[in-house]
Amino acid sequence: MSRDPLVGTTLAGYTLLDRVGEGGTATVYRAQHETHGSVALKVLREKLRQDRTAVARFVREASFGTRVTHPNVIRTIQTGEDGGLPFLVIEWAQGELLENYAKRNAPFPPDEVATVVTQIAGAVYAAHAVGIVHRDLKPDNLMYDHDSRTVKLLDFGIATATDVTPDQRLTRAGFFVGTLMYVAPEALSGEVVSPAADQYSLATMAYLFLTGTLPYTAKSPREMFTQLLSQPPIPLNKAKPELQYSAAVEAVVMKGLAKEPSARYPDVNAFAA
């Protein structure tokens, strides 16, 4: 693998020490700053820098990050452009991706599930309170420090404002965004979703943390798409015969997974309570 040409350079006063990850839109670096110390710095991927929609989405992510303030949301430190490179600086979070931790350790002890889900709900509710729907809640977008049992919501890459108008949308009508295993059924139409869609994604994660499996057994994206639209999720207590939870716990998770948004809880905090 060739060396990343940005590693070792300085961008807007931040020295890029090493590349730590790459998503669909941005490359993430660990960086050092004289005032802010260790940070994570995102740079829009080179192939997208001339794509107006990609640039607009990146700028929007930065603006959403500055609007949401909560202990379980990664703090946005600075946004801008330097030498033609759009960048976003966020706090450096301890721990690992919750996705990796869950793969090794799920199902979690019930008290750990409660701690994790409550923190995620608080972070998401803070976004909803300022008119933002995340649309891509999943373990891969959360950092988890097991020692302190602290969760941090990482980004708002495909989030949207609840008051967005049709001409302001960055996703074409009829196309859904998100991750199929965690996306709410109503999002599959590509229409603007409500905060209830994030609750569905959180309920899917709670199901995973409690059972080590997902509420659908699809083997392909096409099959998953069909199951989400036409079949009920597997009841929590039927996921694994050796794992049985109280009827109350099962009822909470399954209500969060209701196909109709109106059948879910009023908000994510009510789900996590």
The pLDDT tens digits for 232-263 are 999 999 999 999 999 999 999 999 999 999 99
Gap between the Cα atoms of 201 and 223, Å rounded: 18
pLDDT of 149 = 97
- Answer left, alpha or beta for residue 149, where phi above 0 means left and psi between -120 and 50 means alpha: left
Contact 111, 156 (CB under 8 A): no
| pTM given for the model | 0.87
Gap between the Cα atoms of 187 and 206, Å rounded: 19
**Would you say residue 177 has pLDDT above 70?**
no
Catalytic residues: 136
The two tokens of residue 31 are 């960086």
- Residue range 7-12: mean pLDDT, rounded: 95
The two tokens of residue 123 are 């972070």
Contact 159, 124 (CB under 8 A): no
Give the residue, 206 or 68, on which the prediction is more confident.
206
- Residue range 8-35: mean pLDDT, rounded: 92
Within 13 Å of residue 241, how many CA atoms lie on the same side as its CB?
A: 0
pLDDT of 162 = 61
* pLDDT, tens digit, 9 for 90 and up, residues 77-110: 998 889 888 899 999 999 999 999 999 999 999 9
Give the residue, 221 or 63, on which the prediction is more confident.
221
Contact 91, 74 (CB under 8 A): yes
Lowest mean pLDDT among 36-45, 49-58, 101-110, 174-183: 174-183
Q: What is the SS3 assignment for 153?
A: strand
Strand ranges in the chain using DSSP code E only, listed in sequence order: 10-11, 14-22, 26-33, 37-44, 76-82, 85-91, 96-97, 132-133, 142-145, 150-153, 160-161
pLDDT of 172 = 41
